[in-house]
Amino acid sequence: MSRDPDEINPGFQTQRAPADLLARATHRAGVPRVGARQPGFVGLAAGMIAGIVGAVAVMGGGAEPSVEPASAAEEAPGHEQLVRFVLHAPAAHDVRVAGTWNGWDTARESLHAGPDGVFFATLSLPPGQHEYQFIVDGAWMADPASPLSRDDGFGRRNSVLSL
């Protein structure tokens, strides 16, 4: 069986991140992974390793998504889930995230600057499938580590997050 993500899931699009713009996150045991398994998809880790190794930060031998459920113990009110967005962008001054959950409002979700050019934010999102993009110093970009993306109808790709 092929492990090429484009053959496993035709909707999967491999994207390479510029060398100075890498995304990373961690997964906590017992918390569902972002981008749940889909029919014909070998699994999030296999698809990411096959399609994105070398394009994003590596931990434990595989690439990681830039969004994660914040913690199994941290459940937001009304069955919403806390999701942590993380982007490594050392040259950036302002990083935001916008998506279907906030009406693509670029002013609402600003990521905080951490050490070594890592930007992060923890957001409370309702269950379901959400499309999103990062806005880095005013420039829109899909999540370079997201294994799932969808055409936005304007010539770009939106990253997809399933909760």
The pLDDT confidence band at residue 73, using thresholds 50, 70 and 90, is very low
Please tell me the total count of domains within the chain.
1
> If you average pLDDT over residues 89-97, what whole number do you get?
93
Q: How far apart are the first and last CA of the chain?
A: 28
The pLDDT confidence band at residue 144, using thresholds 50, 70 and 90, is confident
The β-bridge partners of 98 are 133
pLDDT value for 63: 35
**Residues whose CB falls within 8 Å of the CB of residue 144, separated by 6 or more in sequence, listed in order:** 15, 16, 17, 21, 22, 23, 52, 55, 56, 66
Specify the higher pLDDT residue, 84 or 29.
Answer: 84
Range of the domain at 141: 5-162
Q: What is the CATH number of the domain that holds 20?
A: 2.60.40.10
> If you average pLDDT over residues 53-67, what whole number do you get?
34
HEC profile of the chain: CCCCHHHHCCCCCCCCCCCCCECCCCCCCCCCCCCCCCCCCCCHHHHHHHHHCCCCCEECCEECCCEEECCCCCECHHHCEEEEEEEECCCCCCEEEEEHHHCCCCCCCECEECHHHEEEEEEEECCCEEEEEEEECCEEECCCCCCCEEECCCCCEEEEEEC
User: Which of 41-50, 68-77, 82-91 has the weakest average pLDDT?
Assistant: 41-50
The β-bridge partners of 142 are none
CA 26 – CA 154 distance, rounded (Å): 31
pLDDT of residue 60 exceeding 80, the answer is no
| Contact (CB, 8 A) for 89 and 57 | no
pLDDT value for 66: 54
pLDDT in tens, 4-32: 444 444 444 444 444 344 444 443 444 44
Let me know the angle formed at the C-alpha of 162 by 160 and 163, rounded to the nearest 5 degrees. Answer: 145
> If you average pLDDT over residues 85-98, what whole number do you get?
92
pLDDT value for 155: 87
Global pTM value: 0.55
